[in-house]
Structure 1
Amino acid sequence: MSEPVPVAVPRKGRPLEAVLERIATVGRDDRLERLADGVSNTLRYEKAITKDRVEAEAGPYERLAEYSDPNAPTEPEFTLLRDDRDGKPRRIVFDAATVDLGDVSLKLVGREEPFRALRTHEFALGFDSADLVLEEVVGIRPEGLGEIADVNDRIDPVDTDVRVVNGLGDTVYHTLMARPDRLRPGTDLDRAFLADYEGSLCISPRYERLVTAVLGTDALDGIDFVYPKPDEEEEAGIARTGVGVYLTVTGSTARDHGLVVGEHLFPSETVLMRNAAEGDPRVERAIAALDAEDATSEIRI
């Protein structure tokens, strides 16, 4: 078989788990399921150490040597990074693994910013959060954006060659929320509500451009973005403000803060992306292998 196709993937977190689940779904043997479970369990344990929920029995270098075997090319490799906690301590994250999908093999390579690695042509294929595409390259227009299937039409080809292929189904939503006293009887909490609303809208600071792209500039006329206070939960900030947008799956935390959960404005999902300028028959085979027919994503581009 030819050399594996390099694929940029996140180093940790929900997006990496979604990638590993997709690999296990499209794979032809149990080894890929064991790989997905092993990497996910290792990183969950390391996250628990990072969050001081468990105490490690060995230091980071000893744990790293236990997890990674450089003489076993089919086994996953991990690496040490400095994270953003006080003192910049070490954290163990995913580094690489080679997976055989039958017609093609992939070299999954951990990157802190897979989307940007595709933008700079380091990789032809990669996985990352759809949020990053909106935050960095999707054009801002008067009208809003509601589906990832429409994202590619909003990307200026002069700006980047990266395009979304499909999603992995690990969906949470950027959702409109409000205190009940902000809603008139019989009023739905949706985009039409925002079109008539004037006042403060509480969002996470990192999502300002994303929310602007999702809602459109017309809907934001008369609206001012405000942000949660330091060390304040986003839902608490929205409850204090009255109206806001934040990520949710079930909305239970929002309801715990006395909020009404309104329209799902936009899905936050891990997506497979390609750099369209990097054409190669192996890349096409890789995309075909990863595009599972039973994928749970609503995105089919």
Structure 2
Amino acid sequence: MTTISVAVPRKGRPLEAVLERLATTAAFTEIADDVISTLRYEKAITKDDATPDAPVYDRLAAYSDLDDPTRPEYTLLRDDREGMPRRVVFDSLTVPVDGIDLRLVGREEPFRSLRKHEFALGFDSADLVLEEVVQLRDDPLTEIAAINERIDPVDTDVRVVTGMGDTVYHTLLGTPAVRKSLPHDLSREFLSAYEGDLCISPRYERLVEAVIGTDALRDIEFVYPENGREEEAAIAEAGLGVYLTVTGSTARDHGLELGEQLFPSETVLLENRSEVGDGVDRVTELFAAPDESVLALQ
């Protein structure tokens, strides 16, 4: 049976999106749920929100079954939190899918693994693609479907195939006072007329430039939250900012109004076109198909 390796994140929302897509098939539901719950538990331990029931190496041994390739494997990484605790993260899992052994392989940065031609397929956040390779233009980038046309073929052979639907949004947020300073709703039109500070997370600087467009940023200066400060609190102090929102409740708690959803932050299926070979097209079809029931696990 042909084995196709696919790079996936080691933890977090993008990995959960991939597992949840596979879990639409009953045969894989239990394993997917087990991986998701295990990693959420380990995240809670790392954040001191849960008390471990065993030492980390004992937990790692209990989670993994090296004699059964159809069971998930995990590994340990140093977390970047204070004290650099060890964190249990996803390593690999092989799933028989429609005559193909689909091998999910954990990577810290799947997109960069594809750029280095280590994999033909992978999943990562669309945010990273915007941060690394899309061209900055005067006009804004507004949807995932438009990403590929802004990727210079000289930069990379990797392209976005489809999104996984786990969408949250980079949203324009502002205080009522700032919003009332211009005769516009909180939108790209507002930004085009606005002059002043715009508070963003420093890791999203290039992304914000891409989704707002360089023309609207001519009279805007980026400011950033101080280390350890909550982004919504920093935006409330600056008066205007861009940050990820799901329900917007935290933003409202800080007295902020929700404006335009500037761009979806979503897990995307990526393909390195120069590495496509036997079986890869079939795996791409399985994940990209609008009818998730085509994931016919054996």
TM superposition score normalised by structure 2: 0.95
- Residue pairs, 1:1-301, within 5 angstroms: 1-2=1-2, 4-25=3-24, 27=25, 30-184=26-180, 187-294=184-291
Percent of aligned pairs sharing the same letter: 65
Deviations 1:205-259 (A, max 9, x none): 1111110011111000110000112222111111100111000011111111111
Q: Which residue of 1 aligns with 2:295?
A: none
Unaligned runs of 5+ in 1: 296-301
Using the alignment, how far apart are the partners of 2:55 and 2:270 within structure 1? 36
Deviations 1:247-272 (A, max 9, x none): 00111111111111000000000000
Using the alignment, how far apart are the partners of 1:86 and 1:190 within structure 2? 38
Deviations 1:59-110 (A, max 9, x none): 1111111000100111111111112123322111000001122142310000
**Residue identity opposite 2:11 in structure 1:** K
Shift of 1:54: 1.7
Shift of 1:129: 0.3
SS, match of residue 81 in structure 1:
strand
**Residue identity opposite 2:237 in structure 1:** R
Greater CA deviation, 109-118 or 252-261?
252-261
Greater CA deviation, 72-81 or 286-295?
286-295
**Residue identity opposite 1:279 in structure 2:** V
Question: How many residues are paired up?
Answer: 291
SS, match of residue 218 in structure 1:
helix
Equivalent residues of 1:103, 1:285 under 8 A apart: no
Unaligned runs of 5+ in 2: 293-298
Shift of 1:157: 0.3
Equivalent residues of 1:138, 1:151 under 8 A apart: yes
Shift of 1:58: 1.2
Greater CA deviation, 225-234 or 162-171?
225-234
Shift of 1:186: 5.7
**Residue identity opposite 2:55 in structure 1:** G
Equivalent residues of 1:235, 1:253 under 8 A apart: yes
Using the alignment, how far apart are the partners of 2:227 and 2:79 within structure 1? 20
Segments ≥4 residues shifted beyond 2 Å = 85-89, 183-187
Using the alignment, how far apart are the partners of 1:21 and 1:236 within structure 2? 33
Deviations 1:25-51 (A, max 9, x none): 2x4xx3311111000011111111111
**Residue identity opposite 2:205 in structure 1:** E
Equivalent residues of 1:202, 1:238 under 8 A apart: yes
Deviations 1:105-155 (A, max 9, x none): 310000000000000000000000000000000011111100010000000
Using the alignment, how far apart are the partners of 1:294 and 1:230 within structure 2? 44
